[in-house]
Structure 1
């Protein structure tokens, strides 16, 4: 399997650090500088930064920048790190789960709707517990997959969530969400999805799920941006659904 691009960028950043006179505690060039240097998107550079942060080479400080935390010689090697970057994963979920929601709108039953409503209520009641809120969030999405009555789609959705939950880069990024208001926004998104499912609107359910995962993505973009606030978020901007 070819090496993921963000890993290649991470290696290039290591080489740049090695060639530079940076010392532990010094600030690294910005994401934008590396993106222009290597001719890639800032999203790839950001995923490379998250990988290097997990490996304890750099320290990311929100609104301040990224700093050299350890020397290359003392860097922790993590060969078991998932190959899938968090934004790549979100993009895949956006495509697949939107299609799943559209199919669910066609085949959903009253019992499915009742289960979704109960899970949504539980999710709202657990806002003060990140772990429980995340569990209810997962259950809501997987119940939508089950509402398709298609075991392959259920298996696909389950696999996506298993990859998310076991991905150290995702967990590193998601840990930055400490404000429960973000979860509150996503519950409102879930309400919109459920409303479209109740209406049995295929296009409405697809759009509501797409927008929900777009909101999650943009939140994580914002929370992981250490550079200027005018980050080029259009890289993964929502396309016109027509």
Structure 2
């Protein structure tokens, strides 16, 4: 993604009426990002919990071929698929809101008002919590299930891992653009939040082998 901040967007700030119009009429980019992240935050905890409890069932069974173990494997597969779907849907919505048709960062990043910056800080922090929760659960799957059980859920868990970076990246890109190019708002908190997300995401990508899935390590 390129950071393309149109001169027309900057010039709009020269007019008080234009600035008022922007504040009144164009909070939709951050609002869309916030709503999408909020949906993921509300959706996935139950699925993560199901995965964790299902891992415990499989461990207790001692064999992946008992009825209880097979039901638990199906629960892991379904839960992982549902989390993947939530991340993928949110990613598409966020990309659509934060980028232009040419793939550039929306010029809105430069002219966010303070309340939008503050909301974006909260959203970045929420994304950190989301990916940490996913990382913890996937790590339990890998560590607590034997090779046979892991192989049975590999496709769905692998798809979940592969969906993390496409969810995180557009949030990183837009928040970074806002922190870099903001004209009027205070962005110290946003810069700190983005740095935290960059560091945590890089560690999680390495831990879960995201680079080995062909997604690269670039942030």
Q: Return the TM-score normalized by structure 1.
A: 0.29
Q: Return the TM-score normalized by structure 2.
A: 0.31
Give the helix-richer structure, 1 or 2. 2
Q: Which has the higher contact order (CA 8 A, sep 6+)?
A: 2
